[in-house]
Structure 1
């Protein structure tokens, strides 16, 4: 049984993960941390990580950037691995994550979905075959109308995964409307759609002469990110110090 602390337990993802763990026979939430304590929980909740005195095998973090520094210090002091899911970290904080990983296990990933991370690996295999054969590569991502950044971090992660396998790095093209010219061979086009309540959809297109191959991932709820975080925590619980990501969790 892997004992977990949920950092940010009363936020949206914290509630999702609480329900996931409740139905997972291999994990148990032994404590939570949240500045808002007005939500009833079956486990003790502390207002800050510094006040938490419950032993655990790993911490899952879905909080906010302001709380990350204290969390990293706690993980080093208590030697507790952490699945770091909070986004929007500063350059200084990202450096601190790297320093922390030298002393305790830290897992950080651009997207916690198991499906997306499996897709990252599949794309590398496809690229090795299709890019040398002259296939053009395009990425189309769709999200809800409240999302402010474009393209999504996941779309960029997909492009990065593709680029890792190429002999010569392809350039990223985000908006072709600015220049009237045909696409070059060595580029990855990215298009963003924003509308309604779309949770997340990513499509990678390999377009060749007379044939098209498409890889597509659709997220129907945020629960997929919570499920991935729980699986990551299981993986991380007995790991030595180091910086890990979801590709380490998924072994193909």
Structure 2
């Protein structure tokens, strides 16, 4: 049985993972870390990694980027792999994660769902075939009104996946309100919608002359992300140092 420390255990995703792990015979949450410890999860919850005494096989992180360095240091000292699901990381955070991956296994994914990672593969194939046919690329992402970062980490992952296969690097365009000019050919437009209780919706539009191709993924509940995180934890628990992706888990 894989023992898990869950960072962000009292948040929305943390609660989904807690429910799921209780039904999974392969996993057990031995401790949680959160800014509050007012919820009885059936395991101890600490305000800081400095307080954690339990031994674990893997950390699942579904919290905000704040104080991420504390978790990374704990992982290095105790040689505990990390499933890093947090988005909105700064460039300094990303560098710190990459340094940590030299000492322990780190699975970093902007989106833990199987469907989104299959979507990225489809987008790569489409972008490569359509590049010479002058198709414009636009990404529209939609999330609930409580989401802090925009655009979403998933939208950026989709754009990065497309950019990987293009012969020339495309720029990302987040706002067209300040520039009164035509669209640049080598750019990917990324638009963010925030409203209501939308769990997550990502649509990529390939717009050509007199034809449009749309590839879309819709999440109807957060359970799909929780499932992916738990699968990732089981996969990563026995892995050596390195930076892993959800595509490694799928394959």
TM range (shorter): 0.7 to 0.9
Q: Output one character per residue of 1:181-201: Cα deviation in whole Å (capped at 9) or x when no partner.
A: 443432222233333222221
Alignment deviations for residues 16-74 of structure 1 (CA, whole Å, 9 cap, x no partner): 11001112232222232335332222233344323323222211122343432222222
- Output the TM-score relative to the length of structure 1: 0.88
Question: Quick check: 1:71 aligned with 2:68?
Answer: no
Question: Partners in 2 of 1:37 and 1:246 — Cα distance?
Answer: 30
Counterparts of 2:122 and 2:37, CA distance in 1: 42
Which consecutive residues of structure 2, in runs of 5 or more, have no partner in the other structure? none
Q: Structure 1 stretch 55-64 or stretch 183-192: which is displaced more?
A: 183-192
CA distance in structure 2 between the aligned counterparts of 1:47 and 1:210, rounded to whole angstroms = 56
- Matched residue pairs, number? 251
TM-score, scaled relative to structure 2: 0.88
Q: Given the alignment of the two structures, is residue 154 of structure 1 paired with residue 143 of structure 2, yes or no?
A: no
User: Would you say 1:7 and 2:7 are equivalent positions?
Assistant: yes
- Checking the alignment, whether the CA contact within 8 Å between 2:13 and 2:222 is kept in structure 1 is yes
**Structure 1 alignment gaps of length 5 or more:** none
Written as runs of structure 1 = structure 2, the 5 A alignment for 1:39-118 is 39-118=39-118
Judged with a 3 Å threshold, the aligned counterparts in structure 2 of structure 1 residues 31 and 128 are, in CA distance, closer, same or farther, namely same
1:129 equivalent to 2:129? Answer yes
Match of 1:24 in 2: 24
User: Cα deviations across residues 66-108 of structure 1 (Å, max 9, x unaligned)?
Assistant: 4322222221122111112234444433322222111111122
Root-mean-square deviation (CA), in Å? 2.3
